[in-house]
Amino acid sequence: MSDILPLIVAKYNFWLYIILMMIGLYAMIAKNNLMKKLVGMNIFQTAIILFYVSIGYKHGATIPIIQGGHGGHSAHDAVIHAADYINPLPHVLMLTAIVVSVATFGVAMALCVRIYQRYQTLEEDELRMRVSERITHE
């Protein structure tokens, strides 16, 4: 037990993203309402986004904008240490991932609207019942 605790504290970002991910996965599997499942899906995706954001972080580093800016002499004169700046690449990747997750969420909600218009419910058990009713009627 005494070994595990420092491990948890040192890598707390990993533990947090796994917990968040499992909450999302639980909601996607166990919830009956389609909207709740969608929210679970969103939590699931957000957990991974947070994971990526956290891996770019460095202790004591600052935002990755070089002092002096474009064409300034100071940027070329001073030696730039990569350790002084947070790694921006994972953050930039996540901008794309956020766009993807928003798009997926949008498509999924549009489908929910279609399903609701057709069956007047978003509860999965009722949906299953009504779909099978339709088949036996035909």
Partner 1 sequence: MNNMPAILVLAPLLGAFFACLAAWIQKQLSYYIALAAMAVSCFAAVSVLTDVITSGTMQYRMAGWAPPMGIELRIDLLNAMVLVLISAIAFVNLVASVKNVEQEISDRAPSFYVMYLLFVVGLLGVTATGDLFNLYVLIEITSLTSYTLIALGDKDRAPLAALNYIFIGVIGASFYLLGVGYLYITTGSLNMADVAVILKGIQGSSAVLTAFILCILGVWIKMALFPLHVWLPNAYAFAPVGFARVVAPLMTKVMVYVMVRLMVTVFGLEYIFETLNLADAVVWLAVTAILAGAFTALFQKDLKKMLAYIIVCEIGYMVGGAWLGNSLGMTGAILHILNDGLMTFALFLAVGNIIYMRRQTAFSDLSGLFAAMPWTMAGFVLAGLSIIGVPPTCGFFSKWYLVLGAFEAGAYHFAAALIISSLVCAVLFFKVFEICFFEADSGAGDHNPAKVITEAPVSMLASLGLVSVAIIAAGIYAGTIVDTIILPFLQ
**Could you tell me the smallest distance in angstroms from the CB atom of residue 45 to partner 1?**
6
Check binding of 27 to partner 1 (CB under 8 A). Answer: no
By CB under 8 A, residue 131 contacts partner 1: yes
Number of other CB atoms surrounding residue 12 within 10 Å? 11
Cβ distance to partner 1 smaller for residue 68 or 101: 101
Q: Binding residue for partner 1 (CB under 8 A) from 61, 104, 121, 123?
A: 104
| Among the listed residues 16, 23, 39, 48, the single contact to partner 1 using CB under 8 A | 48
Task: Quickly list DSSP for the chain.
Answer: -TTHHHHHHHTHHHHHHHHHHHHHHHHHHH-SBHHHHHHHHHHHHHHHHHHHHHHT--TT-B-S--TT-TT-HHHHHSPPPGGGB---HHHHHHHHHHHHHHHHHHHHHHHHHHHHHHHS--BHHHHHHHHHHHHHH-
Q: Which stretch in 3-11, 57-65, 66-74, 111-119 sits in contact with partner 1 by CB under 8 A?
A: 111-119
> What does the binding site for partner 1 look like in residue numbers (CB under 8 A)?
25, 28, 34, 37, 41, 44-45, 48, 51-52, 55, 89-90, 93, 96-97, 100, 103-104, 107-108, 111-112, 114-115, 118, 127, 131, 134
